[in-house]
């Protein structure tokens, strides 16, 4: 949940990863696991943008 919050606050996976000192891939995986647990999509993402659902 902390990763999701930071992604939303910073507006990008890269900036959130930099703040948390982890890779963007790790944040993406953590978000996917959270979404799977909640059975919903929290962020719709493409290679160029992301949109909160």
What confidence category does residue 49 fall into, taking pLDDT thresholds of 50, 70 and 90? confident
pLDDT score recorded for residue 39? 97
Tens of pLDDT along 2-43? 899 999 999 999 999 999 999 999 999 999 999 999 999 999
Of residues 21, 39, 28, 25, the one with CA closest to residue 4: 28
pTM > 0.85: no
C-alpha–C-alpha distance, residues 25 and 1, integer Å: 16
Question: Which residues 6+ apart lie within 8 Å of 50 measured at CB?
Answer: 7, 11, 12, 13, 43, 44
Angle at 19 between CA 29 and CA 47, to 5 degrees: 45
């Amino acid at each position: 949940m902390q990763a999701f919050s930071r992604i939303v606050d910073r507006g990008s996976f890269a900036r959130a990863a930099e703040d948390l000192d982890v890779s963007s891939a790790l944040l993406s995986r953590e978000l996917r696991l959270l979404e799977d647990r909640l059975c919903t999509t929290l962020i719709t993402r493409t290679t160029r943008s992301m949109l909160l659902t």
